[in-house]
Structure 1
């Protein structure tokens, strides 16, 4: 049994999924993995199910009927993790943009260094650690985080980061049913709510490397939700 679950949401990740699972399991710590697949037409789920025969006690899958947003996939995974009594829950992408070798660093930050939330941060102290992004996307991401920091006053440099370790107590405290933002802005809302609940958030410097295989899920609607959703979220504060 492991005390830590790595949640990996997937949609059309057949090029990456087998390798990312194998690499996570190769780390020095024993992690479990939950794949939350949004009915990928490319057969991602079938690849995972085949690997489950090799890792029957470590690898799990939850299959959803459609693609309803990154945030809802993670909420689904969070609730599953809480029901299974994991103490630490880590968000991670399937495409190797998050280095599996950093999983232990995020875990140790929460387990041994007093963090309630540890963020694999690309922009600690305004230093940029991103590889293979074009300048337009890099500037969009960097200034989006600065915009969120300015609007919300949250003391986090990489507010949109998707490589995050949560202590169980944080996810039990945040009302997951009241999380409103469903795209990448979900990452902002979760950090904001953890901060407002006065949990200890620490940024762990990591290098983010853009995917080599598969296609990015970023689009204009996701950006728009982040820009305007943050303002609404800040004005409304925490829901009851």
Structure 2
């Protein structure tokens, strides 16, 4: 399994994240860091981690900050080209618990689902008590908004912690994904659903970051609001 981790100014978190991932009882796990030319030196630290862990850590240096969605498309495409059977995605800010990955993969294998989501909003899922109220409200509203427009029956539609079957990603066709920012998560869920793939949510505890800053901007919020309308228009006559 390859874990794709986009980074931009995550120098305070990337070492801990990689150490925790490589400590998992998953000897075939590979970490692919897609860094958007972070000015804080994240890319250089990632290169050091790759040098210290040959064959297990790879770094993709991208030209600049093009958005979370573009970083994921790049990283996932490279993982598929390298022959990964399963591709995981997670944030670099330690909000997603690496220790939950074996369980996500185990659920994927035992159920033969197309994708398994680490969900905040299914029974047993938790949000860090320190997660700001406005973030909780924004996340709740975003899920309600997308549910209403796209009728996708997933509780955590904006979730960014998941494991995919490689064949599902190939079926979706990463080259057709339009999103640049956080709406990437919604678009991928929508396309997988439209193609008939099974999506399963399992509970996780979502932690508030302790280092670094959120990358959520006004621009990404606007894109996230507009994307569901684009998805309905683009894919309604194609059956995805």
Verify same fold: TM over 0.5. yes
Contact 1:17 1:94 in 2 (8 A): yes
Answer yes or no: is 1:117 the counterpart of 2:115.
Answer: yes
Q: C-alpha deviations, 1:90-134, integer Å up to 9, x for none?
A: 001111100011111111121222211001111115x76211211
Distance of 1:214 and 1:27 partners within structure 2: 24
Distance of 1:118 and 1:66 partners within structure 2: 30
Match of 1:39 among 34, 37, 40: 37
CA drift of 1:176 comes to 1.3
Unaligned runs of 5+ in 1: none
Distance of 1:181 and 1:54 partners within structure 2: 34
Residues 53-92 of structure 1 correspond to what in structure 2 (within 5 A)? 53-92=51-90
Answer yes or no: is 1:195 the counterpart of 2:193.
Answer: yes
| Alignment coverage as a number of residue pairs | 236
Give the structure 1 partner of residue 3 of structure 2: 6
CA drift of 1:154 comes to 0.7
Answer yes or no: is 1:102 the counterpart of 2:100.
Answer: yes
Give the structure 1 partner of residue 20 of structure 2: 23
CA drift of 1:231 comes to 1.6
Distance of 2:177 and 2:203 partners within structure 1: 27
Distance of 1:236 and 1:38 partners within structure 2: 28
Match of 1:211 among 184, 209, 212: 209
Answer yes or no: is 1:235 the counterpart of 2:233.
Answer: yes
TM-score, normalising length: structure 2: 0.95
Helix, strand or coil for the counterpart of 1:118? strand
Distance of 1:223 and 1:157 partners within structure 2: 19
Contact 1:70 1:184 in 2 (8 A): yes
Distance of 1:174 and 1:124 partners within structure 2: 25
The alignment's C-alpha RMSD in Å is: 1.4
CA drift of 1:28 comes to 1.3
Distance of 1:11 and 1:95 partners within structure 2: 10
Give the structure 2 partner of residue 221 of structure 1: 219
Distance of 1:129 and 1:221 partners within structure 2: 28
Q: C-alpha deviations, 1:147-206, integer Å up to 9, x for none?
A: 111211111000100001110011110121111111100100001000100001000111
Unaligned runs of 5+ in 2: none
TM-score, normalising length: structure 1: 0.95
Give the structure 1 partner of residue 164 of structure 2: 166
Contact 2:117 2:202 in 1 (8 A): yes
Distance of 1:33 and 1:227 partners within structure 2: 31
